[in-house]
Amino acid sequence: MPLQPFRAMLLALLAWAAMPQALAQQVPLQDKPFAEHKIVLQLSDGDAKKQALVLSVANNLLKAYDPDKVAIEVVAFGPGIDLLLSGSERRKQVESLIAQGVRFDICLNTIDTMERETGKRPEFIPGATPVQVGVGQILFLAENGYTVVRP
């Protein structure tokens, strides 16, 4: 085997072995086998207007498509997780969307960082799905046919 392909294969293997386990174990896809449209909404902003926009987009998608034919996943990380904390002003809206089949993922890396900085682990809405790496979850979804939208 020539040296270049061998070197490339070795580097790829080393990169794969070094990949954090959290990225290798993303949360499974939604159980919507007949979804014709798959959308992941990225929420990395703590701005109330941006959060309202994400909720509005999710709501509009549910109105525009048969709920069984659309899979909507909101992935919150960084300041975006404020929407999913227990004391969120928009908690009822989030819970209503969850009841309609929208999945809300919350980044545990962000939760861990907040706990280190404040000494207290923030509580989040029980209906939110914890994922270890928010951006990793978005990448996983994109690789599995989801369209990434950042309202």
Q: Which domains, and CATH codes, for the chain?
A: 35-149 (3.40.1260.10)
Grouping H, G, I as helix, E, B as strand and the rest as coil, residue 25 is coil
Higher pLDDT, 136 or 19: 136
Looking at the predicted structure, is the pLDDT value of residue 91 above 90?
yes
What pLDDT sits at residue 30? Answer: 62
How far, in whole angstroms, is CA 91 from its chain's centroid?
17
Q: What does the DSSP 8-state code read for residue 81?
A: G
Question: What pLDDT digit, counting tens, does each position of 115-127 carry?
Answer: 999 999 999 999 9
Question: What pLDDT digit, counting tens, does each position of 63-85 carry?
Answer: 999 888 999 999 999 999 999 99
Looking at the predicted structure, is the pLDDT value of residue 6 above 80?
no
AA letter at 31: D
What's the rounded mean pLDDT across residues 31-57? 93
* Selection from 86, 133, 127, 137 nearest residue 103 by Cα: 127
What pLDDT sits at residue 32? Answer: 73
What pLDDT sits at residue 106? Answer: 98
- Which distant-in-sequence residues (6+ apart) come within 8 Å of 146 by Cβ? 38, 39, 40, 71, 73
**pLDDT averaged over the chain?**
86
| pTM, rounded to two decimals | 0.80
